[in-house]
Amino acid sequence: PRWLPPPETLHLWKEFETPEPAEIKAIQKSFLRHVTKTFARTAFNMDNFGSYQGTAYSLRDRLIDKWNITQQHHTREDPKRVYYLSLEFLLGRSLDSCLLSLGVKDIYKKALDELGFRLEDLIGEEVDAALGNGGLGRLAACYMDSLATLDYPAWGYGIRYNYGIFKQLIVDGYQTEFPDYWLNFGNPWEIERLDVSYEVRFRGYVNKVTEEDGTISYVWEGGEKVVAVAYDVPIPGYGTMNTINIRLWSAKPAREFDFAMFNDGNYEKAVEEQKSAENITSVLYPNDNHMVGKILRLKQQYFFVCATLQDAIRRFKKTNRPWSDFPYQVSIQLNDTHPTLGIPELQRILIDEEGLSWDDAWDIVTKTFSFTNHTVLPEALERWAVPLIQDLLPRHMMIIFDINLFFLQKVEKKFPGDRDRLRRMSIIEEGHPQNVRMAFLAIVGSHTVNGVAALHSNLIKNDIFPDFVEFYEGNKFTNVTNGITPRRWLHQCNPALSDFITQKLGSDSWVKDLEQLKKLKEFADDAAVQKQWMAIKRQNKVRLADYIHSITSIQVSPDSLFDIQVKRIHEYKRQFMNILGVIHRYLRLKKLTPEQRAKEVPRLVVFAGKSAPGYFIAKLVIKLINSVGEVVNNDPEIGDILKVVFIPNYNVSLAEIIIPASDISQHISTAGTEASGTSNMKFVLNGGIILGTVDGANIEIGEEIGEDNIFFFGVKADEVEDIRHLNRYRKIEMDPDLRNVLDAIERGTFGDPKIFEPLVATLTVGGDYYLISKDFASYIEAQADSDEAYKDKVGWAKKSILCTAGMSKFSSDRSINEYAERIWKIKPCTVPATLN
């Protein structure tokens, strides 16, 4: 029976459930209470970390108040909810963003100031929550911010990895990896929910049961069980009550301890079992855009969807609605194919546990799920070996086979006798072993499939899933161009520019309504605004220069052009082409007289990004960048005219320093390979100019800000296949400038050339799959154009203003509203300040 409070005590609860007033004295009291009582510190035993903890816990109380009211309000209203399922959430730090969302940053600053602490110092004490690899995980974090801010009743679901993405150190120019044990000092931003837990089964066997009336059912039994425990991360909307939840699952052993085993003297085995359960959520797989078929990863995926669906179903069942209501109460978004096992899992629950017919169950499933594809790279498309799934999830494998059978029957009906089409469209790929094509399963089990930028959504339709487009007659496939949250990626990371924009627009309403930025266009030619605008840019460059100096001891000039490429290191993103371009520039500079050199635009080229630990070629690119930097930065003839810096351990917090400081940022993927990109949006929002290919969201950014304000180069996506084909069948004509650059490497200009042989070979004997040679001349030309443009200070300032002014479309608020209206069919549910 449920516990109910004695009515005469209700007022006591009320007092604690009502958010505290944001007053200096109240803030100081809650800060000191946490510092002394929660963390057992005193006035004479304090440091910045202690005050970070006290501040975070004080803020956490405010978050929880809002979060509780939100949850109670949603329970009362019971709106349709969206569940955003993602194996990655790259949240970064929370303190600053929470202070801003709750509108209490200034008052906290004052309160702390009076106590002798500087808020800026505390903010730097927080470790990043880095439960993601790159764009995909950060997108999920931006979407949570927008869902909360726009008052949507939404939940994020993910895994609470004990180790986030590894820490990158550069040793002798090479990437080395260190574990990111981010929970070591506690995590103020989560609430452990030992009361919310579910069992998850693996392996075992499937029992076929024939009922008296002859119907057949299946029961999945035996095997081993682990428990999923919930950890809740509140996400406050900006300037609203709505505070949504990311529920992260952590694996625990099902039984506290196997005492039978223990008593048999098998202590070690009993402990081992304990460990193997916890292993499931131990570590984030550090691959971006690349699939590795490890069994532990498959376990993570099932563990995650199994716990999540039990949680969603428990919430649905509270209101005693019929199952047919489920898709009208629940929408589930799959962030890539990683959570696709949710499709057979829901089907299994509905038929095996809830007793629905296959058809009724499948109708519910396909009305509930929708799927976002984030890549066209073949090595990133998930395929799991049938025997692996059969062993780990025997009942799911049966269900996947049945889903496939019924699906192919429909294909056969629509295209009779087309054997090759059936082979192409089968969810099961023939081979030794057979494989499950997870994207096909996700498409068949979803009502809507979207790509993440216009070009990418077209490539999905025309190049990677054309048979499915034909089969579903164009329905099902759509585009939702990615977006970024303007809260973190302008208001928080660039406070000077944010204040200036607010001043010029006369209001800060742009923070929640990015359409307002369009009004900045009026100021593009205003000399005073231009001056102030570029002064802010310079401040941000000084901040980055200081950071670079503190980390690498390299002195860079804030008066040079800051040319930045920061993202995961990947061949398709072509950091290799960038550094080859740098070498080309260096060789050219070396041929100039000192007088000629003095007329050049000084340039700082910044790289940052992690390589997957097992990605040999990507790691060599890092080494080459550092070797080139070593030579160039120490060449007295070159001085400030060219500097090359690799900043180690790129993460969200570093991005917040780097992005506002760019003059140019590079987004130079081979056309058709970068689905969208999202850092391109962040740079331009901060008044940086893109030098990039006609790829991903670069194209739409160009449309919005105007082609005069972006440096495009390179072949178009529809030319790539033909060029690759030719490259395979004839000797590649190496661009002569590129040949020179490779000669310099091979001469040993940047150290032992043997080291770089495998890298150089990708361009020569390797067939240059990413078309670096083909694009090299136009890349160099675009770089020269950017030098010329930078000399015109007024013209550049105008471009920069027009960049920011044109970015309205790329707010994640716009993306989320599109998903909500067109795909999830959910409406905002405004949470009142207090409940009565």
Asked if 682 is an active-site residue, the reply is: yes
- Considering only 50, 54, 92, 135, the residue that binds ligand OX2 (CB under 6 A) is 135
How many H-runs (helices) and E-runs (strands) does the chain carry?
A: 34, 24
Distance CA 607, CA 356 (A): 55
Contact segment (CB under 6 A) with ligand OX2 among 321-329, 671-679, 687-695, 752-760 equals 671-679
CB 501 within 8 A of CB 517: yes
Footprint of ligand OX2 on 438-457 (CB under 6 A): 452
**CA gyration radius, the chain:** 28
The structure tokens 């990708």 sit at 762
Nearer of residues 93 and 456 to ligand OX2, judged by Cβ: 456
Which of 682, 774, 799, 809 is labelled catalytic?
682
Distance CA 710, CA 705 (A): 8
For position 678 contacting ligand OX2 by CB under 6 A, the verdict is yes
Which of 338, 567, 574, 623 is labelled catalytic?
567
- Considering only 131, 241, 621, 675, the residue that binds ligand OX2 (CB under 6 A) is 675
Residue of 760, 793, 430, 324 lying closest to 579 (CA atoms) = 760
For position 333 contacting ligand OX2 by CB under 6 A, the verdict is no
Nearer of residues 136 and 343 to ligand OX2, judged by Cβ: 136
Nearer of residues 335 and 516 to ligand OX2, judged by Cβ: 335
Least CB distance to ligand OX2 at residue 377 (A): 7
Nearer of residues 104 and 377 to ligand OX2, judged by Cβ: 377
CB 227 within 8 A of CB 252: yes
Nearer of residues 22 and 377 to ligand OX2, judged by Cβ: 377
Which of 374, 395, 487, 610 is labelled catalytic?
374
Nearer of residues 386 and 439 to ligand OX2, judged by Cβ: 439
For position 380 contacting ligand OX2 by CB under 6 A, the verdict is yes
CB 243 within 8 A of CB 237: yes
Nearer of residues 28 and 373 to ligand OX2, judged by Cβ: 373
Q: What is the 3-state secondary structure (H, E, C) of 142-201?
A: HHHHHHHHCCCCEEEEEECCCECCCEEEEECCEEEEECCCCCCCCCCCCEEEEEEEEEEE
3-state secondary structure of 714: coil
Asked if 567 is an active-site residue, the reply is: yes
Give the x/- contact pattern for ligand OX2 in 94-133, rule: CB under 6 A: ----------------------------------------
> Residues, the chain, total?
836
- CB atoms closer than 10 angstroms to residue 314: 11
- Considering only 51, 58, 70, 289, the residue that binds ligand OX2 (CB under 6 A) is 289
- Considering only 149, 651, 676, 804, the residue that binds ligand OX2 (CB under 6 A) is 676
564 forms beta bridges with 606, 665
- Considering only 151, 345, 663, 674, the residue that binds ligand OX2 (CB under 6 A) is 674
Distance CA 571, CA 326 (A): 44
Asked if 374 is an active-site residue, the reply is: yes
For position 651 contacting ligand OX2 by CB under 6 A, the verdict is no
For position 575 contacting ligand OX2 by CB under 6 A, the verdict is no
Distance CA 248, CA 86 (A): 10
Q: Which amino acid is at 825?
A: K
Which of 299, 348, 573, 643 is labelled catalytic?
573
- Considering only 139, 400, 480, 738, the residue that binds ligand OX2 (CB under 6 A) is 139
Least CB distance to ligand OX2 at residue 574 (A): 13
Footprint of ligand OX2 on 592-611 (CB under 6 A): none
Which of 568, 597, 667, 774 is labelled catalytic?
568
Asked if 573 is an active-site residue, the reply is: yes
Nearer of residues 452 and 816 to ligand OX2, judged by Cβ: 452
Least CB distance to ligand OX2 at residue 437 (A): 15
Residue of 782, 785, 805, 797 lying closest to 701 (CA atoms) = 805
N- to C-terminal Cα distance for the chain? 25
Least CB distance to ligand OX2 at residue 335 (A): 9
Q: Which amino acid is at 107?
A: I
Least CB distance to ligand OX2 at residue 463 (A): 16
- Considering only 175, 370, 375, 450, the residue that binds ligand OX2 (CB under 6 A) is 375
Contact segment (CB under 6 A) with ligand OX2 among 249-257, 669-677, 682-690, 798-806 equals 669-677
- CB atoms closer than 10 angstroms to residue 572: 18
Q: Which amino acid is at 347?
A: Q
Backbone angles phi, psi at 660, to 5 degrees: -65, -15
List the structure tokens of 152.
């949507």
Backbone angles phi, psi at 372, to 5 degrees: -105, 125
For position 310 contacting ligand OX2 by CB under 6 A, the verdict is no
Nearer of residues 158 and 696 to ligand OX2, judged by Cβ: 696
CA contacts within 13 A on the Cβ side of 720: 20
Footprint of ligand OX2 on 682-741 (CB under 6 A): 696
216 forms beta bridges with 210
Nearer of residues 380 and 826 to ligand OX2, judged by Cβ: 380
Distances (CA, A) of 171 to 176, 385, 627, 670, 758: 7, 37, 12, 30, 20
Distances (CA, A) of 135 to 90, 283, 651: 9, 19, 11
Least CB distance to ligand OX2 at residue 136 (A): 4
Least CB distance to ligand OX2 at residue 86 (A): 11
Residue of 569, 589, 573, 568 lying closest to 631 (CA atoms) = 589
Give the x/- contact pattern for ligand OX2 in 457-496, rule: CB under 6 A: -------------------------x--------------
For position 136 contacting ligand OX2 by CB under 6 A, the verdict is yes
For position 654 contacting ligand OX2 by CB under 6 A, the verdict is no
Distances (CA, A) of 273 to 160, 226, 265, 276, 294: 20, 10, 15, 5, 19
Nearer of residues 779 and 810 to ligand OX2, judged by Cβ: 810
Please report, as ranges, the residues that interact with ligand OX2 according to CB under 6 A: 134-136, 139, 288-289, 336, 374-375, 380, 452, 482, 674-678, 696
Which positions are catalytic?
374, 567-568, 573, 678, 682
